[in-house]
Structure 1
Amino acid sequence: MSLFIYILYSESKDRFYIGQSEDPFRRLTDHNSGKSNRYTFSGRPWLLKANFLVRGNRGTALKLEAFIKKQKSRNLIEKLVDPDFTPTDALAQLVRVPHVRD
């Protein structure tokens, strides 16, 4: 089972959303269809800005998601969505995945 940390962006709200899932593309569809939580409902449409494979299990993915959210740093999130940025230190377990669908 592969787990991913994904970062979505809402142009209408100028906000980012960080989540973790086995299928980030399905989750993007859920967020945009309103099947997801209240936070993302009003920000539709959401765009997938970054997608990272997590080296580890669901516990690792949850810890990394929580770590990113706890930073409360737009600067960090903007670095993570930059394709030239390589995560280090606590985020070194993230492997950038091109978000191209078949």
Structure 2
Amino acid sequence: MEFVVYILYSEKFDKTYVGFTSSLIDRFKSHNELATKGYTIKFRPWKVVYLEVYNSKTEAIKREKWLKTGNGRIFISNITKELEDK
């Protein structure tokens, strides 16, 4: 089974969200349409701006946690800046 670490971006609110899943399409639909509570419903619509695929859940969780650190936030900031420059 593959696991995807993803970064969502809400251009309307200039917000990002980091998560991981084994089913990106279902999870993305949940963030944008199905969920009725939680952080991501406040900042819809979201778009996937970055993803990485891992073979193990442990690796995916480790990467997700890193993306939520200070250095990870810098990495994410660089991605969103590239979007703004386009």
So what's the TM-score if we normalise by structure 1?
Answer: 0.68
Which structure shows the higher helix fraction?
2
**1:63 Cα deviation (Å)?**
1.2
Partner Cα separation in structure 2 for residue 37 and residue 27 of structure 1: 14
**1:47 Cα deviation (Å)?**
0.6
Determine if contact 1:8/1:18 at 8 Å carries over to the other structure: yes
Equivalent AA in structure 2 for residue 20 of structure 1: F
**1:74 Cα deviation (Å)?**
3.9
Spell out the pairing of 1:60-99 with structure 2 (5 A cutoff): 60-71=59-70, 73-79=72-78
Counterpart residue number, 1:47 = 47
Q: Which runs of 5+ in 2 are unaligned?
A: none
Q: Specify whether residues 24 and 36 from structure 1 end up closer, same or farther in structure 2 by C-alpha distance, changes over 3 A only.
A: farther
Identity of aligned residues (%): 29
Partner Cα separation in structure 2 for residue 14 and residue 49 of structure 1: 13
Partner Cα separation in structure 2 for residue 70 and residue 3 of structure 1: 20
Bigger relative contact order, structure 1 or 2, given CA contacts below 8 A and separation 6+?
A: 2
Aligned length: 82
Deviations 1:70-89 (A, max 9, x none): 22654311445699xxxxxx
Determine if contact 1:6/1:50 at 8 Å carries over to the other structure: yes
Q: CA RMSD in A?
A: 2.4
Q: Which runs of 5+ in 1 are unaligned?
A: 84-102
